[in-house]
């Protein structure tokens, strides 16, 4: 199929590369010339395992091209897939400026019949509005499809190629057949729905995942006070097939460009329709409190943060991505700095150049430099590199061996034996001291 993917971000670049790998002829358009220049030079703007190899392989084969030019991008295309950002606006509703700019460009540059699949996460009703706008001059010229994406950053290629399901919202048999053909290599159920249900499925899925995380964090906080162990609790409830084991990892709350944004969008949607969505407001409030709780733990152990040197290990919102959009680490650093603490931070892949003056921290070359003379360290991203730290060396370098672990990377008993004052999430200090049962 001759495909144009609009937007060369996490979703667009991955979609374009995989479609090309499946043998389609793909042009990927982005309106950021710097981004397109970097991609063409083999220096991808997003960190995603396996993606650089897939992009360069298909660029060499000429099955994947990049452009900023609309005429080049849409020439002879059968399908245009839109994957531009839909960031949260001030009022919680997604900002659809980029999407509508694309839709206007499509209307201006395409004359023949074309399929337009919206992969961006868009509010319920958007596909209908886009279809009305694009077809106002000639009915049926643009056939609109809602094709929400469920990949996760850090495992994007694998998720894209092995999804649990595909959801396609469409109105015509031609669109249905084209999507069946396009996603034929996938071995998963394909659900065909109307536009609105497809759009709602995307928000509902992300809000449910967000709710699960706020749920387990609440139980973790209770475990800390009631001398229980969140690992045993998560295992015990996760084995119930009605609950399931995924997304029950306690920590510092969810971040990233989507779970917070999409949960806020559902709150905004509820307000639009006058539907009580306080459940989602509470999910967001709990998520915010979880970040504050980490800083309170530090403050309590250090008797205040003024003048204290705090090492922050990890900035990305989770491992295997360089993305810091809504990263809990940045919110936590902000609080520590506000309370008078001095932060030295390290992340294996995040570019800290612009972030360090903005958030008022000192960047470190590696984890060991970050912890040197630190009064405490806070671990905020579960990078593999941190699993492999020489912990005795870390302890020796610190002013005092206080480690607040927002990701529960280490076994508490081992940390205790190594002489750390180790504070994980969801396991009380008494529990660590007294339990004979392994905790992590």
Ligand X SMILES: NC(=O)C1=CN([C@@H]2O[C@H](COP(=O)(O)OP(=O)(O)OC[C@H]3O[C@@H](n4cnc5c(N)ncnc54)[C@H](O)[C@@H]3O)[C@@H](O)[C@H]2O)C=CC1
Query: Footprint of ligand X on this chain (CB under 6 A)?
Result: 6-12, 29-32, 35, 83-86, 98, 101-102, 120-121, 149, 151, 153, 257-258
Among 251, 314, 341, 348, binds ligand UGA (CB under 6 A): 251
- Return the residues of window 12-41 that contact ligand UGA according to CB under 6 A: none
Nearer to ligand UGA (CB atom), residue 30 or residue 382: 382
Among 152, 288, 301, 325, binds ligand UGA (CB under 6 A): 152
Nearer to ligand X (CB atom), residue 355 or residue 402: 355
Query: What whole-number distance in Å separates Cα of residue 65 and Cα of residue 114?
Result: 20
> Does 202 carry a binding-site annotation?
yes
Q: How far is the CB of 155 from ligand UGA (least distance, A)?
A: 8
Where in the sequence numbering do the catalytic residues fall? 258
> Does 272 carry a binding-site annotation?
no
The 3-state secondary structure of the chain, one letter per residue: CEEEEECCCHHHHHHHHHHHHCCCEEEEECCCHHHHHHHHCCCCCCCCCCHHHHHHHHHHCCCEEEECCHHHHHCCCCEEEECCCCCECCCCCECCHHHHHHHHHHHHHCCCCEEEEECCCCCCCHHHHHHHHHCCCCCCCEEEEECCCCCCCCCHHHHHHCCCCEEEECCCHHHHHHHHHHCCCCCCCEEEECHHHHHHHHHHHHHHHHHHHHHHHHHHHHHHHHCCEHHHHHHHHHCCCCCCCCCCCCCCCCCCCCHHHHHHHHHHHHHHHCCCCHHHHHHHHHHHHHHHHHHHHHHHHHCCCCCCEEEEECCCCCCCCCCCCCCHHHHHHHHHHHCCCEEEEECCCCCCCCHHHHHCEEECCCHHHHHCCCCEEEECCCCHHHHCCCHHHHHHHCCCCEEEECCCCCCHHHHHHCCCEEECCCECHHHHHHCCCCCC
The sign one gets for the Cα dihedral 50, 52, 58, 60 is negative
- Return the residues of window 205-234 that contact ligand UGA according to CB under 6 A: 206, 209, 213
> Does 261 carry a binding-site annotation?
yes
Nearer to ligand UGA (CB atom), residue 3 or residue 151: 151
Nearer to ligand UGA (CB atom), residue 169 or residue 256: 256
Among 35, 77, 249, 264, binds ligand UGA (CB under 6 A): 249
Q: How far is the CB of 309 from ligand X (least distance, A)?
A: 34
Nearer to ligand UGA (CB atom), residue 115 or residue 319: 319
**What is the per-residue binding string for ligand UGA in 106-145, x denoting contact by CB under 6 A?**
---------------x------------------------
Q: How far is the CB of 249 from ligand UGA (least distance, A)?
A: 3
The entry of ligand UGA, ligand X, none near residue 182 (CB within 5 to 8 angstroms by kind) is none
> Does 247 carry a binding-site annotation?
yes
Nearer to ligand UGA (CB atom), residue 106 or residue 332: 332
Q: How far is the CB of 121 from ligand X (least distance, A)?
A: 4
Give binding residues for NAD(+) as ranges: 30, 35, 86, 121, 261, 325
Give binding residues as ranges: 30, 35, 86, 121, 202, 247-251, 255, 261, 318, 325
Applying CB under 6 A, which residues contact ligand UGA?
121, 149-153, 206, 209, 213, 247-249, 251, 254-256, 258-259, 317-318
Give binding residues for substrate as ranges: 202, 247-251, 255, 318
């Amino acid at each position: 199929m001759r495909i144009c993917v609009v937007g060369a971000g996490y979703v667009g670049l991955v979609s374009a590369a995989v479609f090309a790998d499946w043998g389609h002829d793909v042009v990927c358009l982005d309106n950021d010339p710097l981004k397109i220049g970097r991609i063409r030079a083999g220096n991808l703007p997003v960190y995603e395992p396996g993606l650089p190899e897939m992009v360069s392989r298909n660029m060499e084969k000429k099955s994947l091209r990049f452009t900023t030019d609309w005429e080049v991008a849409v020439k002879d295309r059968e399908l245009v897939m839109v994957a531009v950002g839909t960031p949260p606006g001030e009022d919680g509703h997604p900002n659809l400026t980029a999407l509508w700019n694309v839709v206007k460009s499509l209307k201006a540059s395409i004359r023949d019949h074309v399929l337009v699949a919206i992969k961006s996460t868009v509010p319920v009703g958007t596909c209908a509005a886009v279809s009305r706008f694009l077809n106002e001059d000639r009915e049926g010229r643009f056939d609109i499809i809602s094709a929400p994406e469920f990949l996760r950053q850090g495992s994007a290629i694998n998720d894209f190629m092995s999804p649990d399901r595909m959801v396609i919202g469409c109105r015509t048999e031609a669109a249905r057949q084209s999507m069946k053909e396009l996603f034929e290599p996938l071995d998963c159920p394909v659900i065909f729905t109307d536009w609105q249900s497809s759009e709602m499925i995307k928000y509902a899925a992300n809000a449910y995942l967000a709710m699960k995380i706020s749920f387990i964090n609440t139980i973790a906080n209770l475990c800390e006070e009631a001398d229980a162990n969140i690992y045993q609790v998560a295992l015990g409830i996760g084995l119930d097939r009605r609950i399931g084991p995924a997304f029950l990892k306690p920590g510092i709350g969810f971040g990233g460009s989507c779970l917070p944004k999409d949960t806020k969008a559902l709150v905004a949607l509820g307000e639009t329709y006058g539907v009580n969505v306080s459940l989602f407001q509470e999910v967001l409030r709990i998520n915010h409190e979880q970040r504050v709780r980490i800083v309170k733990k530090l403050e309590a152990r250090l008797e205040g943060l003024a003048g204290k040197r705090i090492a922050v290990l990890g900035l990305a919102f989770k491992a295997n991505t360089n993305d810091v959009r809504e990263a809990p680490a940045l919110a936590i650093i902000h609080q520590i700095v506000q309370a008078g603490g001095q932060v030295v931070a390290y992340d294996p892949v995040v570019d800290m150049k612009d972030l360090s003056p903005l958030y008022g921290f000192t960047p470190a070359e590696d984890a060991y430099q970050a912890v040197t003379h630190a009064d405490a360290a806070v671990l905020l991203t579960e990078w593999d590199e941190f699993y492999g730290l020489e912990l005795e060396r870390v302890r020796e370098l610190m002013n005092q061996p206080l480690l607040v672990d927002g990701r529960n990377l280490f076994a508490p008993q081992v940390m205790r034996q190594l002489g750390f004052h180790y504070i994980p999430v969801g396991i009380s200090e008494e529990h660590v001291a007294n339990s004979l049962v392994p905790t992590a």
